[in-house]
A and B are shown apart, each in its own frame.
Chain A
Amino acid sequence: MMKQGKGRAALSSQPETKKFRLLAFGIARDIVGGNEVDIELTDAYSVGALKTALQENYPDFKRLKSLAIAVNETYRTDEHILNTNDEIVIIPPVSGG
């Protein structure tokens, strides 16, 4: 039992990569090139980490300061922790009338 436990501890110290699926709206669709995009996060799984990963993969997001992220139909701030089965929506502002 002890041995097994140790082995697990060693394994879990490796950062785990998790995949999150995002639904895009508005100009975010142009930026990611589709209505959906998968983003992989390692180590940190917060909304803030997700935004950083988006900005690294798609530099245009760096210029979009007001990038609203909704998780399971609620707008969330950077500290919010994501689960892989969450419905994550990116909503950029639109101005048309």
Chain B
Amino acid sequence: MNGLDNFSQEELARYARHFAIPEFGIAGQGKLKAARVLVIGAGGLGSPLLLYLAAAGVGHLGIVEFDRVDASNLQRQVLYRVSDIGKNKSEIAKTQLLALNPHISVETYNVALTRENAIELISKYDIVADGTDNFQTRYLVNDACVLCEKINVYASIFRFEGQVSVFNYPHKDGSRGPNYRDIFPEPPPPDLVPNCAEGGVLGVLPGIIGSLQASEVIKVITGIGEPLAGRLFLFDAAAFSSRILKFGKRPDTKIETLIDYDQFCGVHTSKPTDIKTIDPLELQQLLDTTESFSIIDVREPYEFGIGNLGGQLIPLGQIIENAEKIPNNQKVVLICRSGRRSAKAIRQLQEQYNMKNLFNLEGGLLAWRDAVDGGMEV
């Protein structure tokens, strides 16, 4: 048996360029067709990753993504169109991928990956590709892959920089290669490393890095070449420089069970006691009263232009030099997109000027939109 009968005539035509590669051939394509790959996150990285895995003929794709398409996604998330704004990403992705390749199956999971569902979801697949956008989920994916003994093809992006690696790769002796925690044992504090929304990302960057990720997934499935196991690839688009850094296992890395990743990453833990907060509904009540108070928006001017609650715009980077513009004789509510930058601003103002009249809009304008004004653009 040469494996040819595994493919229909359309499939033989479709995959002709793969069959033509000597190392790939019918056998390699057969491995792709049989493979089950779970892609976590269908955003910037997930878009090219899913498109190329589907195009290449990976037989069974799973997509974990709960988000909806937002206008700000279209600068880099090439799976989506203007007409998709507001729609469910995983469903749009499935439609697009099946239109691209009807010979594969696509399963969607319109949920957030959590410690409750991670093991069950990941167990159903051979390989995981992590294209998520936050540290909690990255540690969760990593730990669940270690516990389920799955390969985790990892990529991550920030501004002009990308990282790629293959974690938990099986060696011939049955042992597993290093994982995410062998490079980064603990997450950074949440206010130190911005995400794409706050730190920004070059639109084409996930196209480059997500394509490299897809290439590693295909290599791992087919057994072709040398996977990026025990090596971290770093790319800097601005300098057009790349590096491959070798790393091994740390003796102190132990993953025995899934943990509370929000707590581990310092998010949503107990409210900071040094900062007074106001939630969206309280702010709305305040707006409805005659009490005089001020709003200071610490986002960037372009964000203010997308949508705002009025108030005075003083970006976080200029807050200290403009401190005299902030009243100290009445309540002042500081706002930003997620509540992180405004908390930072309050901390700086309290430290430098000992101001006691500052309140942070908890959860920022995202929370405001969810609780008060669903039509607001943020």
B13 within 8 A of A: no
A70 within 8 A of B: yes
* A95 in contact with B246 (CB, 8 Å): no
**Secondary structure type dominating chain A contacts:** loop
A26-B161, A75-B232, A75-B245 given; A95·B192 CB < 8 A: no
- A73–B199 Cα gap in the complex (Å)? 26
| B250: A residues at CB distance < 8 A | 77
> Quick check: is B243 within 8 A (CB to CB) of the other chain?
yes
Q: In the complex the two chains form, is A25's CB within 8 Å of B131's CB?
A: no
Give bound CA distance, A77 to B161, whole Å.
24
B188 at interface by CB-CB < 8 Å: yes
Determine if A85 is an interface residue (Cβ-Cβ < 8 Å). no
Contacting residues, chain B, for A13 (C-beta < 8 A): none
CB A60 to nearest CB in B, in angstroms, measures 7
| Residues in A neighbouring B45, C-beta threshold 8 A | 97
Question: Is there contact, CB below 8 Å, between B41 and A73?
Answer: no
A68 interface contact, C-beta 8 A:
yes
Whether, in the assembled complex, B6 has its beta carbon less than 8 Å from a beta carbon of chain A, the answer is no
Total residues of chain A contacting the partner, CB 8 A: 23
Q: Does B62 contact A (CB under 8 A)?
A: no
Nearest A residue to B205 via CB reads A96
Taken residue by residue from 146 to 169, chain B's Cβ proximity to chain A (1 for < 8 Å, 0 otherwise) reads as 000000000111100101000000
Is B207 among interface residues, defined by CB-CB distance under 8 A? no
Instruction: Decide if A89 touches B245 in the complex (CB within 8 Å).
Output: yes
B194 contacts across to A, CB distance below 8 A: 27
B248 to chain A: closest residue by CB: A75
Contact of B156 among A63, A73, A94 (CB under 8 A): A94
The answer to the question of A32 belonging to the interface, with a C-beta cut-off of 8 Å to chain B, is no
- A96 and B157: CB pair below 8 A? yes
Q: Taking the nearest CB of chain A, how far is it from the CB of B46, in angstroms? A: 7
Instruction: Please tell me if A35 contacts chain B, counting CB pairs below 8 Å.
Output: yes
The 5 closest A-B pairs by CB, nearest first: A75-B247, A94-B158, A66-B184, A96-B196, A97-B133
